[in-house]
Structures are given as structure tokens and as C-alpha cells.
Structure 1
Amino acid sequence: MGDWVVRLIEQSGYLGVAFLMFLETIFPPIPSEVIMSVAGVTAAKGEMSLGGAIAAGTAGAMLGNIVWYLAARALGIIRLKPIIDRFGRWITMDWAEVQRAERWFLQNGTFFVFLGRMLPTVRSLVSVPAGLLKMRFKTFFIASTIGTAGWTSALAYAGYKLREHFSEVDQWLGPISNAILVTLVLAYVWRLIRYRPAS
């Protein structure tokens, strides 16, 4: 994976960075940690500017974020009601809880999107609730862009400073990503055990 990312960025420059970050957002298994760290290393070699690499990465990721948002918005939460009513036990959520979540999102959605964009594992999923709950596109775009720019900047700067040791970024963030994933799984199992549908 790393060698392919390096070659594409070396051959395609900013366009390669943007394309890879777009793919990373659409298909989360492609790691942004590697993509933006390699872009930072490339900038350190003088083959592109650090600011340009960050802008390209942010633009590519935002394009993917918008695709997910629009797809989820087109679906709409109301179309999920029959699924939630039927499989609420396994989703660990009934329709009343969905409505409570919608009210919470109206008040806290901007911060949720901003913070979620800077969390490994979670960041690629943030667009879905924002779209399903029909968050204003302008608000979604601004919060997503700020959070995404923060994430890509941190990774690119780390690669810029570490240069050939950019793999250390993934070694450091990998355990954090795994910890977040394990926490999410455990939270789901806990909810599954304790779930009681509203009567």
C-alpha cells in the first residue's frame, strides 16, 4: 500500500494527493495517515509545497465527504424507519431514540462534525448522520472543512518533519485507531446487552 501511494504522489503531485484522499474518504481502509505523511515527505524534498499538499489533501477528502453527505441526505432518516422498527434490537435503537438523536444533533451537530473529522476510524463516517438528519449544507461544509484541514495539516506536517521516518506516524496513530475501534465495538456490545425497546 505504501509503495503504491508513494509512486502515485511522485508521478501525479497535488492531483495524486487529492485523488488518494478522495478514495480514502470513500473507502476507509486506504489510510490517510500514509497518504498525507508521504505528501509531507514529498514537500520536505522540495517536490511540492507543504501548503499545496495540505490544500490538495483537504480538497480531495472534502469531495468524498460531500459524496457521502449527499447520498445520506437523499436517503433521509425517514426511509430507515421500517428498518429501525424491524431490526431495532440489533441496531440498539428504536424510533423514539432516533428522534432524540435528531434533536441532539440539531444542537450539537456542528461540533460533532468538526471533532469527528479529526478522529481516526470515525472521520470517514461523520457525513452519514449529517446527511441523514439533513444538517444544513453550509454548516456541514464549514465544520467538515475546518476539521479535515486540521487532520490533513497534522499528518502532512508530521511527514514533513519526520521525512523518511514517516512510517512512525502510522505506528503512533495505529494503536489510537485500534483503541477507538475497540471502544466502538465494546460500546455496541454493551448497548446490545442492555437494550430494552420503549414500550
Structure 2
Amino acid sequence: MTNTLLAASASSDGSWLTALADWTVSLMEVIGPIGAGVAIALENLFPPLPSEVVLPMAGLTASRGSFTLAEALIWTTVGSVIGAYVLYGLGRWLGADRLRRVAGWIPLMKVDDIDKTVAWFRRHGAAAVFFGRMIPLFRSLISIPAGVSAMRWWTFGLLTAAGSAVWNTIFVMAGFLLGENWHVVEAYADMLQYFVIAVVVIAVVWFLVVRIRAAVRSRRDEQPDSA
């Protein structure tokens, strides 16, 4: 069974993805469905690790009888929640006050930016945490502002579990049903990830342009006053 699974994972493009798939399969075969939970917890802590590879491998391993589909879904969701709570704790430790001080040191950043972000998250945090668990990159990072804004820990846990269950089910089921062709799902996952990255880049560029233009305008206004 191990050879079949490793042959399936080798069909993934890119040596590091192949190595990740091999490691994930080995972990799940050694310690069972708990290994799937461990892999997803690590994916939450290190966003470059793609859940789009780890989750289908859990489904594939379940399809081979190493554990049941229900165990794969339960343990990947548990791993998601545990990993998210670590970053949530980091956000609580940072807190809004620390971030305000940090913002004062960063060029083009304002203390008001932190206040506005915290205020927005307190209004829309529930939706942000739930739907954020289904967006690449933000799956992990959304836990930090939840901690910074002091969202109630049990609310955060329930929303994280619900959003993670939806996302995990999609990819675990894909691996379970596709079997050795699990990597087909990567093409669609990559499209979503590239779209998210493009949106983030555009937002950052827009932020920089607006702040730089405002800084230049402010300096021009100060010159006549000083004269």
C-alpha cells in the first residue's frame, strides 16, 4: 500500500510538493489519522505548506483503508483548530496596544490603521473567521487579528471548526474519490491561490501609492507654511 501511495504522490509537480506528499503519507501510515491532524496543524502555523496537498493525501490514505473517512475529516478539523488557536494566542499576546506602538515606527503606517482594523474586525469578525478559513493564505493569518481584537475564545473555536470543516471536507473528499488522481484538484486550488495573491498585491500597491501621494502632498503643504 505504501508503494502505491508514494507513486500517487510522485505525480504531483515539483520536488518539494512530492517530498511533502511522501512525508504526509508516511506520517499518516505511522500514527494513523492523528498524523493528518498533525500535518494540518503545521500547515496552519506555516502557511507556505499547502493544505491543498495535505488534505487530499488524507483522503487518499483513507481510501486505502489505513483509517476511515470520518476519522480523516475529524482529525484534520481538530488539527486546524489547534493550529489556529496557536496563532490566536499570538494575536492576544501582541494586543492592539503593542501593534499601535509598532505602527508608529513603520513608515507610511498610522496608529489609526490599527484602530480601524480592530474596529472593523469587531464588527465583522465572525464572518471573517468563518469564510477566512476557506481562503488560501488567509486561512492561517485570520487567526491573528481575531486574537488582537480579543474575540471570545469559544466563539473563535466554533467558527474556526465550522469553516475548517467545510474546507477540509472538500479536499479530503477529493482525495478519497479521485484516488491516485488526487493531484487533479491542485490545478483548481492553484487558480484560487493565484487570484488571492493577485488581490493582495494590488491592495498593497494601492495602499503604498495612496500613502506616498499623501506624504508628498503633506510636505508640499508644509513648505509654504515654513516660508
Scaled by the length of structure 1, what TM-score is found?
A: 0.92
CA displacement 1:5-44 (0-9 Å, x = unmatched):
2222222211110111111111112221111101111222
User: In 1, Cα distance between the equivalents of 2:22 and 2:33?
Assistant: 17
User: In 1, Cα distance between the equivalents of 2:34 and 2:169?
Assistant: 17
User: In 2, Cα distance between the equivalents of 1:169 and 1:7?
Assistant: 21
What is aligned with 2:137?
121
CA displacement 1:93-148 (0-9 Å, x = unmatched):
42223222222211110000000001112101010100111111111111111001
The answer as to 2:82 corresponding to 1:42 is no
How do residues 63-78 of structure 1 correspond to structure 2 at under 5 angstroms?
63-78=82-97
Greater CA drift, 124-133 or 174-183: 174-183
DSSP 3-state at the match of 1:157? helix
What is aligned with 1:100?
116
How do residues 169-184 of structure 1 correspond to structure 2 at under 5 angstroms?
169-184=185-200
Name the larger-Rg structure.
2
User: In 2, Cα distance between the equivalents of 1:122 and 1:66?
Assistant: 14
Query: What is the aligned-residue identity percentage?
Result: 35
CA displacement 1:157-194 (0-9 Å, x = unmatched):
11111111011112220121122112101210111101
The answer as to 2:45 corresponding to 1:26 is yes
Scaled by the length of structure 2, what TM-score is found?
A: 0.81
DSSP 3-state at the match of 2:32? helix
The answer as to 2:99 corresponding to 1:83 is no
> Post-superposition shift, 1:88?
4.7
> Post-superposition shift, 1:156?
0.4
DSSP 3-state at the match of 1:76? helix
User: In 2, Cα distance between the equivalents of 1:97 and 1:75?
Assistant: 16
What is aligned with 2:16?
none
What is aligned with 1:153?
169
DSSP 3-state at the match of 1:30? coil
Tell me the matched-pair count: 195
DSSP 3-state at the match of 1:21? helix
What is aligned with 2:72?
53
DSSP 3-state at the match of 2:199? helix
Unaligned 5+ runs, structure 1: none
The answer as to 2:22 corresponding to 1:6 is no
DSSP 3-state at the match of 2:135? coil
Residue type at the aligned position of 2:131: L
User: In 2, Cα distance between the equivalents of 1:108 and 1:82?
Assistant: 24
DSSP 3-state at the match of 2:106? helix
Q: What RMSD over aligned residues (CA atoms) do the two structures have, in Å?
A: 1.5
Unaligned 5+ runs, structure 2: 1-19, 219-227
- On the 8 A contact 2:136/2:193 being kept in 1, the answer is yes
User: In 2, Cα distance between the equivalents of 1:10 and 1:30?
Assistant: 20
User: In 2, Cα distance between the equivalents of 1:84 and 1:97?
Assistant: 8
What is aligned with 1:135?
151
Residue type at the aligned position of 2:153: F
What is aligned with 1:192?
208
